[in-house]
Amino acid sequence: MSINSIVTPISHPRTILASLIEKDGLPFRDILSSEAISQSIQEISYRNRYGVFSPDIMLWAWLSQAIDSDQSLDAAVSRVIAFHLSQGREETISSSTSAYSQARSKFPEEVLSNLVRQSGKQLEENIPTSWLWQMLYHLKLVDGSTISMTDTQENQALYPQPDSQKKGVGFPIARIVTVISCVTGAVLDLAIGPYSGKKTGEHALLRQIIDVFKKGDVALGDCYYASYFLMAALKKNGG
């Protein structure tokens, strides 16, 4: 089954995900090209030696791991081994998860962010007119939340834990604001910052990514976003 047979203008996301999960190897290879990943890598300073887990192989395995019913490292490495066998490659790949885990931990966050934005933009550009609101307008949802971060020294410095938690027993908290396409469900952009302090509210974070709204777009948010300042900023941006 080719990826083109399941990703069509009338495909339901659940159907697409189910088909991807059922496929052996690295099915995201047919959706996110090596060229797109390589281009994003070249835009930043990153290592040149990869071994078996090159950026494209690692990312395809990571995406498959995220949607698989078995989200273990072993299952992800097994997919890579299956992919190599399907390509007729004769070199032996270790079933150890160490190399994959290290490659994943070293993968630049900036590359992931850029690929998410590029994928979301591409989806928006290819939306059929019949999917648009009143067949004219791109409907974009904005919302915010807080998330618990991994308890590392770097995260504690960037996203301090709440004052109510005792030092050393809490987790760093970050605030995020996302803009999501109401048609494709894709994240179009995201801003992140500390959960409290100056310029860390949802309005402040939204202003960092407000350029995601283009002329003719319709912004949809809850009552928190109903401010004259924000409406003026969106109008100025062409929304």
Asked if 219 and 234 count as a contact pair (C-beta separation under 8 A), the reply is yes
Question: Locate tokens 């550009």: which residue?
Answer: 125
Structure-token pair, residue 233: 């900023």
Tell me how far apart the alpha carbons of residues 121 and 210 are, in angstroms, rounded to a whole number: 14
Q: What amino acid is encoded at 8 in this protein?
A: T
| Beta strand 218-220 pairing with 187-194 | unpaired
Q: How does pLDDT run across 158-212, given as a tens digit for each residue?
A: 888 877 777 777 889 999 999 999 988 889 999 999 988 887 889 999 999 999 9
* Regions of the chain where pLDDT drops below 50: 1-3
d(CA 189, CA 145): 14
CA distance 100 to 111: 17
Compute the distance between CA of residue 43 and CA of residue 108 in angstroms, rounded to an integer.
11
What pTM was computed for the model?
A: 0.79
Q: What amino acid is encoded at 158 in this protein? A: L
Hey, what amino acid is at 219? A
**Per-residue confidence (pLDDT) for residue 81, from 0 to 100:** 92
